[in-house]
Every structure is written in structure tokens, then in C-alpha cells.
Amino acid sequence: MSTDTVKPSVLFVCVHNAGRSQMGAAFLSHLAGDRIEVRSAGSAPADRVNPAVVEAMAEVGVDISAESPKVLTVDAVRASDVVITMGCGDACPYFPGKRYLDWTLQDPAGQGLEAVRPIRDEIRRRIRDLIAELDAASPLG
């Protein structure tokens, strides 16, 4: 494999970077390995990742307990091929030439584990579809 091969990069964005975007980034990293560069950020990051989200991800074998919310930067968007927004509205910067996907998902903030599980499962399903799309589009695929 050539060292100048560019792997696709995906940025997950939500308001607090404490739930949906953390789950999306974790599933993409977990399921795609190092084939895809993964980032996540929030327009108004929380102090910590939602504990119910950490617990829900642990149930499916994905440990995000060491993650922390990160602030959304213009550079993160500029460096990404695909930007997946999850309820950040107009706070997400727009750059021509980027692929934007807006995933409408319930916000897990303030929700218990029972409410977070279906959100987690829907994100996992969408991530599997995204990986299949990116692999099909990749010159390496």
C-alpha cells in the first residue's frame, strides 16, 4: 500500500459532544479500524461524556470512558471529507465540497440507559451503512 494514500475522514458533530457524536465516532473507529480517520466535536461541549452513553456503549463492548467532549473548530471541519451533524443546527460551519449528512436522532442528554439503547442501536446501524458506502467509494476497496 502506498504511503500517500489518503483515507477518508469523518467528523461527527452535536451540540455537547457528550452523546450522539461520541457514539458515532466510537462505533466508526471500532467497526472500521484504522481505514477511516474519525473526529468528533461539539458546538458547545459539555464537561464530560454522558454516563448513560458510556454505559450503553460498554454493553456492546465499546469503551468510551476515557473520551472527553471537544470543541468544534473550523480546522476539524476543513480536514474532514464527511461531516455528520446530529442536532447542532446552524452552529456547524459549512464548507463547499464537503459531504454533509444530518442524522436526526433523539438527544440522549438527561436520558437513562433504557432511552439511550435505541439511540445507540440506530447510530450503529447508520455507521455500518456509512462504512459500506465509504469502502465502496475507496480506491482501496
70 falls within a domain: yes
> Could you give the CA distance from residue 3 to residue 5 in angstroms, rounded to a whole number?
6
How many residues does this entry show for the chain?
Answer: 141
Give Cα 21 distance to the centre of its chain: 4
CATH number at residue 91: 3.40.50.2300
pLDDT of residue 137: 81
pTM beyond 0.85: the answer is yes
Helix (H) or strand (E) holding 38: strand 37-42
113 falls within a domain: yes
Q: What angle do helix axes 113-137 and 20-32 make, rounded to 10 degrees?
A: 50
pLDDT tens for the chain, 141 residues: list them. 444 467 899 999 998 999 999 999 999 999 999 999 999 999 899 999 999 999 999 999 999 999 999 999 989 989 999 999 987 666 666 778 889 999 999 999 999 999 999 999 999 999 999 999 988 887 654
Handedness of CA 18, 23, 28, 30 (dihedral sign): positive
14 falls within a domain: yes
Domain count, the chain: 1
Contact status, residue 50 vs residue 62, Cβ threshold 8 Å: no
Catalytic machinery residues? 14, 88, 92
> Could you give the CA distance from residue 72 to residue 54 in angstroms, rounded to a whole number?
21
Expressed as residue numbers, the domain containing 30 is 9-130
